[in-house]
A = this chain, B = another copy of it.
Amino acid sequence: MPYSYASHLKCPVCGNEYDLHEIHQLCECGSPLLVEYDLERLQQEVDIQLLQERKPDLWRYHELLPVASEDNVVTLGEGMTPLLNMPALGAHYGIDHLYMKDESLIPTGSFKARGAAVGISRAKELGVEEFAMPTNGNAGAAWALYAARAGMRATIVMPQDAPMITRSEVALAGASLYLVNGLISDAGKMVAEKVQRQGVYDASTLKEPYRIEGKKTMGLEIAEQLGWTMPDVILYPTGGGVGLIGIHKAMQELKAIGWITGSLPRLVAVQAEGCAPIVKAWQEKKERSEFWEESTTVAFGINVPKALGDFLVLRALYETDGVAIAVSDQELLQVQQEVAAMEGAFVCPEGAATFAAAKRLAVEGWIHPGESVVVLNTGAGIKYPDTVQTEAPILEIGDSIL
């Protein structure tokens, strides 16, 4: 039995197909490419029971991943993050079955590790020795560290406002780091020039087809952790949108294989009021979003003014009867406190935004009584020290706390 059942690359816009054995970035038509699998053969040959004996990381789903040989797997133990029950918070928000998929328990403290693990493994398999990418911080940190483990050279360009700690991660990994007095879109232009002029591999979001396959595993894990059933609703903080597209792809593949049945969960794209291009497009029932001018939010990971995969995000929302919703920075910072004080979890601002959205959707009645709701916390709150203000008395030796 093969390690991977990936069969080819396919363009979701024009339908063009590409060979898996060659390096491909975007389709000729400019669209991202997606990995297709031989799901019929997989269904016949792979027994779901096999999974039980495998290690608790995302490589347990290797048949549904694009890496052809186990020898090329570059891993730091990523995946199978906890799916936690949040009963106190659920009661407070009026959500009967509230779960958090906690992506803080992953190398580099962010779900970006999934994309990096699969993306770097596949790049290694294809013989890539050097790549460049723009990032809002966490993806660059993850790709730089996995690149170090793979022995690959990396150039990372990030806004100077990106979380400080992600600079340290990139630098410590030995990658080339550049800071831009601008947004990820400005960083993207610099990377594009380097790719075009120097021929290095372009690891930008959705410009290589494999990162999404890593992020897909969040959907696979949610299904397995719920005993191969689906929740009613999944909420996802949406910047580039690859996580949400990946979860949608996972659900479709699982359904095609027959490992899950019934309706797919209603997907919710959560954005910040200061950067909500997907929300605007969804409200206007459009197929694509427009560039969001002067975007700003403390949830830095979702400060993406225009996503290359916007049409795939919107498609996933329309197909699953989902919604797109924006929350304010004030709301999300308050919710970050609620989640810690009621459930003991220090979520990242993007995760907090997603809890805030769940709260609002429950109040508005869009989430119904009895429904099960999974909120994605995409990273560790400890990577964002500036979102929390603390005041504590400073005592001298011998003072009393009575």
> What is the interface of chain A, defined by CB distance below 8 A to chain B?
52-53, 56-57, 74-77, 80-84, 88, 102, 104-109, 132, 145-151, 155, 157, 160, 164-165, 167-174, 177-182, 186, 189-191, 193-194, 197-198, 336-337, 340-346, 380-383, 385, 388, 390-402
Contact = CB atoms under 8 A, between A and B. Distances in A.
Dominant SS at the A interface?
A: mixed
Contacts of A395: 157, 178-181, 190
Contact of A181 (B194, B340, B397, B400): B397
Contacts of A391: 171
A344 B77 CA distance: 12
Nearest to A150: B344
B344 A397 contact: no
A114 to B, nearest CB: 13
Q: How many copies does the complex hold?
A: 2
B80 A84 contact: no
A344 to B, nearest CB: 3
Contact of A394 (B77, B181, B193): B181
Contacts of A190: 395, 399-401
Contacts of A168: 346, 381-382, 385, 388, 390
Contacts of A106: 105
A250 to B, nearest CB: 20
Nearest to A151: B88
Contacts of A56: 56, 80
Contacts of A164: 385
Given A171-B390, A172-B336, A401-B193, A396 B77 contact: no
Contacts of A342: 148
A322 to B, nearest CB: 26
B179 A393 contact: yes
Given A345-B76, A392-B167, A397-B182, A107 B104 contact: yes
A377 to B, nearest CB: 11
B109 A382 contact: yes
A172 B107 contact: no
Contacts of A75: 84
B388 A107 contact: no
9 contacts: A77-B84, A102-B107, A105-B106, A109-B109, A149-B344, A168-B346, A169-B381, A179-B393, A193-B400
